[in-house]
Structure 1
Amino acid sequence: MLTIHADSRGRALAVEGAWIAAAGPSAELTAALPAARVRRWPGILTPGLINPHGDELLEGAYHPDPREADALGTEPLTGGARAALAPDEARRGASARRGLQRMLAHGTVGVACADLRSRAVRDAVHRSGLAVVGRPGPPGGTPALDPYACGLPVEFAAPREPGSPARFAVFDVRDEADLAERGAGTCVATVIAGRLVHRRR
């Protein structure tokens, strides 16, 4: 089904299947494609973010299950706290899946990884549809679900244009400067391979 995603600034992307069919002003796209379903979002459409700490957040951290929140909290556990859990492969995969969902909620459409050693984690990343960007070594900065909190320059995925993969995010902010100030917690929607994989309730 053809779907037009339009933001508050009048920009829009038409998505068909896993691909961008058209890009341009929302008024022009809706007029040219009258049969398309239209989703209107508050804020701005962007290509989506690349999280630079894929290894650290998906293999080097444990993302507690909501049922563990009373004992473990809700933030990713790293270092000694994570090591004390000694997660087996199944638990490591479940943690990675929760971590990936939390990344999607921050407008992440790709992760930079040096070497994911756990098969369960690799499988979770593959199933999520996130793009994997190679990296030569530790990127520095502080691992965080919000790339704006990492202390590194923020990297966006490639610009969306007709024929490119439908992989983008929408943030409820006025513009890119407001996004940099308020961070990726303002994400209202993330689309990967044409699928709405995160929507703020």
Structure 2
Amino acid sequence: MRTLHTAELLVAGAGSAPLRDGAVLVEGDRILALGPFAELTERYPHARARRWPGVLTPGLLVRGADTLLERTYYPDDQYETSGGGTEPISGPEALEALGMTEARWGNSARRGTQKLLARGVVAVAGRFTVPAVRTAVVRSGLTVLPPAPYEGLPALDPLAGRERAEEAFHGVLEPGAAARFAVFAVADLDVLPTEGATTCVATVIGGRLLHRRR
């Protein structure tokens, strides 16, 4: 089925001029076309339409994901928050006290990848050495890239410390490219680094809607 994703602004990539009321037409796991929503609905009248608030952009890339997922523990909200709180746990002593096993790391990584998807992340860079963690990342749909240089500490929000949102984009939106993008409920692209990636309302990877803010 063909699906039209439209938002108030469409930014196809770094340096691209925002297109008001722009849309991305997805067929399978690929982008079929981009352009004004009105034009695409006329050309593809039978496509299903999804309307989103804010700005539609390429999905985001997180660097240092091995630190985020193999050296940071995400408590299970349902079972663990009453005793240990909801904040991620890191540091050798704290992790040793938890008695981490590979299975527990895998469960934590699944929760961590959900947090990344909820921030518009579509790709992660890092070297994963725990098999259960790598399995969780691959199954999440996130693209795994080799380690890449980064400054400061890795963060779940790839916009943290960025002056421009484009610095965190992964790829560009164009016909034939993988259908991999995110939508953020902000007025324009310039305010996105300030508002942060938690403004994400939708994340699409491989044409599938993997996160939708409820």
**TM-score after normalising by structure 2:** 0.88
Report the counterpart of residue 5 of structure 1 in structure 2.
5
| Structural RMSD (CA) | 1.5
CA contact (8 A) 2:74 2:109 kept: yes
Report the counterpart of residue 149 of structure 1 in structure 2.
160
Report the counterpart of residue 171 of structure 1 in structure 2.
184
Instruction: Compute the displacement of 1:62 (Å).
Output: 0.4
CA contact (8 A) 1:3 1:14 kept: yes
Alpha-carbon distance between aligned partners in 2 of 1:62 and 1:106, rounded to the nearest angstrom: 18
Alpha-carbon distance between aligned partners in 2 of 1:128 and 1:196, rounded to the nearest angstrom: 12
* Segment of structure 1 superposing worse, 140-149 or 183-192: 140-149
Report the counterpart of residue 199 of structure 1 in structure 2.
212
Q: Which amino acid aligns with 1:179?
A: L
Structure 1 residues 190 and 17: CA distance shift in structure 2, 3 A: same
The SS at the match of 1:147 is coil
Report the counterpart of residue 130 of structure 2 in structure 1.
118
The SS at the match of 1:149 is coil
Instruction: Compute the displacement of 1:53 (Å).
Output: 2.1
2:105 to 92, 96, 114: 92
Q: Which amino acid aligns with 2:40?
A: L
After superposition, where does 1:48-63 map in structure 2 within 5 Å?
48-63=59-74
Report the counterpart of residue 24 of structure 1 in structure 2.
35
Aligned length: 199
Report the counterpart of residue 47 of structure 1 in structure 2.
58
Report the counterpart of residue 47 of structure 2 in structure 1.
36
| Structure 1 unaligned blocks of 5 or more | none
User: Is residue 2:191 matched to residue 1:181?
Assistant: no
Report the counterpart of residue 106 of structure 1 in structure 2.
119
Structure 1 residues 133 and 88: CA distance shift in structure 2, 3 A: same
* Segment of structure 1 superposing worse, 26-35 or 93-102: 26-35
**TM-score after normalising by structure 1:** 0.94
Alpha-carbon distance between aligned partners in 1 of 2:192 and 2:148, rounded to the nearest angstrom: 28
Alpha-carbon distance between aligned partners in 2 of 1:85 and 1:151, rounded to the nearest angstrom: 33
Q: Which amino acid aligns with 1:72?
A: G
CA contact (8 A) 1:142 1:151 kept: no
* Segment of structure 1 superposing worse, 146-155 or 8-17: 146-155
Q: Which amino acid aligns with 1:187?
A: C
CA contact (8 A) 1:188 1:199 kept: yes
| Structure 2 unaligned blocks of 5 or more | 10-20
Report the counterpart of residue 65 of structure 1 in structure 2.
76
Alpha-carbon distance between aligned partners in 2 of 1:61 and 1:108, rounded to the nearest angstrom: 18
